[in-house]
C-alpha cells in the first residue's frame, strides 16, 4: 500500500480544478484496503473514494483520506448461449473498457462510448446515454466495506439503480438506513451483454446518423463510431476543456405541470416517461434562460450544450458552485422547476 501526502488533484478531476489531497492511498486490490484498515494513522480517518473524478466539484483541499481506485483488469468471465459476461477492474477507464468490448466483437455497450470516468464510478451514477443506461447491461459488482473490510457482491436489484442514482449515492445517516455512500469501495464490475445483440437506435441523434449515412442496419462498431462523433460534436473533451458532463439531471414533472409549462412555453423539449411523468430537457431550460456562453469568473456554460459547465482555465470550485446556483435560481424563477446537480460537491 502506498500512502502519499499533499497530492495535487488537478489531473484527478475532469473539471481540472486545482486542489490537493492531504493524504492519498492508491487502491490496486482488496489487499490494499485491508492494509489501509490496519494502518495506524489512516484506518480511523474519514475516507473519500475517488475514481476518474468525472463527477465531482472540488471546492478546496480534500481533508478525508482519498482512496484512489486503481484496480485493473478486463476479461470475459462467461460466454453462454444467452449472453457474454465481461468483468472490469473498477480503476479501468470506462471508454477504454467499452472500446475493448467492441474490439472483442462484443456489442452492448456501444451507446455508452466516450463517457468520462472509470468503470467503478459507472454504477454509482448509473451512467446513461443514447437510450441505454448502465443498469440495462449490469450483471453484478464486488465491493469492500470500508469500515469492516468485508467483501460482498451486489446484483442489480441490490444496487437500487435509478436515473443517475444508486445505493452508492445515498448515505445511511440521511436516508433512513438505506445507502452505502462513503461505506463501500467498488472493486470490480461485471456486465451482461445479451445474445443476440440488438441495436438501440431510438435516440434522435442516431436516427439522424442513419439517415445521413444511408446505413440501415449498423453493427455495434458503427454505432460506437456514431456515438463518439455525436458526443464529440456537442460535448467538450475534458482533456481539453475541464467539465463533468451534464451538470444537472433532467427534471421530471407531472403531466399536469408539463401542460401548464407548455401553455406558457410551447417549445419546451419534453419526453413522456414509462411511469407517466414527463421528463424535461434541463439543457433547454438553461438555454432558454440565456445562459449559454455565460461565465462566473473562469467557470462557464458551454457554448454548444447549456447543460455542461466548463472550466475556462483556472476556475475554482467556488466559481462553479456560484454559477450553478445562479442557473438554478433563474430556471426556478422562470419555470418553477428546481434543477438538481449531478456531480457531488466536495
Active-site residue flag, 190: no
Encoded one letter per residue, x for contact with ligand EPU by CB under 6 A and - for no contact, window 303-342 reads --xxx----------------------------------x
249 binds ligand EPU (CB under 6 A): yes
Q: Work out how close the CB of 236 gets to ligand EPU at its nearest, in angstroms, rounded to a whole number.
A: 10
Question: Does 246 qualify as catalytic in the annotation?
Answer: yes
Q: Please, which residue, 246 or 316, has the CB nearer to ligand EPU?
A: 246
Nearer to ligand EPU, 144 or 244 (CB): 244
- Nearest distance, CB of residue 263 and ligand EPU, angstroms: 19
User: By rule CB under 6 A, what string of x and - marks binding of each residue 110-129 to ligand EPU?
Assistant: -------------------x
Cβ distance to ligand EPU smaller for residue 114 or 315: 114
Which one, 33 or 283, has the nearer CB to ligand EPU?
Answer: 283
Q: Which of residues 126-165 bind ligand EPU (CB under 6 A)?
A: 129-130
Site string for ligand EPU, 205-234 (x = CB under 6 A): -----------------------------x
Residue of 53, 120, 245, 317 interacting with ligand EPU (CB under 6 A): 245
Q: Is 5 a catalytic residue?
A: no
Q: Are 89 and 47 in contact (CB under 8 A)?
A: no
Binding-site member from 246, 252, 311, 316 for ligand EPU (CB under 6 A):
246
Nearer to ligand EPU, 27 or 242 (CB): 242
Q: How far apart are CA 181 and CA 170, in angstroms?
A: 5
Among 20, 221, 292, 294, binds ligand EPU (CB under 6 A): 292
**Cα-based distances in Å from 264 to 280, 333, 335:** 14, 14, 9
Nearest residue (CB) to ligand EPU, 24 versus 261 = 261
Which sign does the torsion angle of CA 219, 223, 228, 232 carry? positive
Indicate which residues carry an active-site annotation: 164, 246, 342
* Contacts to ligand EPU by CB under 6 A: 129-130, 234, 245-246, 249-250, 269, 281, 283-284, 287, 292, 305-307, 342
Amino acid at each position: 500500500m502506498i500512502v502519499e501526502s499533499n497530492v495535487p488533484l488537478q489531473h484527478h478531476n475532469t473539471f481540472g480544478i486545482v486542489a490537493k489531497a492531504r493524504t492519498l492511498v492508491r487502491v490496486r486490490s482488496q489487499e490494499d484496503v485491508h492494509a489501509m484498515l490496519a494502518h495506524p494513522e489512516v484506518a480511523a480517518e474519514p475516507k473519500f473514494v475517488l475514481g476518474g473524478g468525472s463527477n465531482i466539484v472540488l471546492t478546496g483541499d480534500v481533508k478525508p483520506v482519498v482512496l484512489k481506485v486503481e484496480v485493473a483488469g478486463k476479461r470475459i468471465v462467461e460466454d453462454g448461449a444467452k449472453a457474454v459476461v465481461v468483468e472490469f477492474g473498477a480503476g479501468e477507464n470506462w471508454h477504454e473498457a467499452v472500446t475493448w468490448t467492441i474490439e472483442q466483437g462484443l456489442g452492448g455497450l456501444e451507446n455508452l462510448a466516450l463517457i468520462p470516468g472509470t468503470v467503478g464510478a459507472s454504477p454509482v451514477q448509473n451512467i446513461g446515454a443514447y437510450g441505454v443506461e448502465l443498469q440495462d447491461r449490469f450483471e453484478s459488482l464486488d465491493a469492500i466495506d470500508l469500515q469492516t473490510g468485508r467483501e460482498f457482491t451486489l446484483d442489480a436489484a441490490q444496487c437500487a439503480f435509478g436515473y443517475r442514482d444508486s445505493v452508492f449515492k445515498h448515505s445511511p445517516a440521511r436516508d433512513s438506513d438505506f445507502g452505502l455512500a462513503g461505506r463501500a469501495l467498488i472493486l470490480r464490475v461485471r456486465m451482461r451483454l445479451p445474445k443476440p445483440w440488438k441495436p438501440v437506435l431510438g435516440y434522435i441523434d442516431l436516427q439522424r446518423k442513419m439517415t445521413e449515412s444511408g446505413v440501415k442496419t449498423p453493427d455495434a462498431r458503427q454505432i460506437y463510431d456514431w456515438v463518439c462523433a455525436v458526443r464529440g460534436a456537442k460535448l467538450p473533451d475534458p482533456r481539453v476543456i475541464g467539465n463533468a458532463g451534464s451538470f444537472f439531471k433532467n427534471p421530471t414533472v407531472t403531466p399536469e405541470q408539463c401542460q401548464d409549462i407548455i401553455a406558457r412555453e410551447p417549445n419546451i423539449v419534453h419526453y413522456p416517461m414509462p411511469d407517466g411523468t414527463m421528463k424535461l430537457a434541463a439543457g433547454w431550460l438553461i438555454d432558454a434562460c440565456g445562459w449559454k456562453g455565460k461565465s462566473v469568473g473562469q467557470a462557464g456554460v458551454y457554448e454548444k450544450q447549456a447543460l455542461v459547465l466548463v472550466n475556462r482555465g483556472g476556475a475554482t470550485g467556488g466559481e462553479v458552485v456560484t454559477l450553478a446556483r445562479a442557473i438554478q435560481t433563474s430556471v426556478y424563477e422562470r419555470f418553477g422547476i428546481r434543477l438538481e446537480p449531478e456531480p457531488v460537491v466536495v
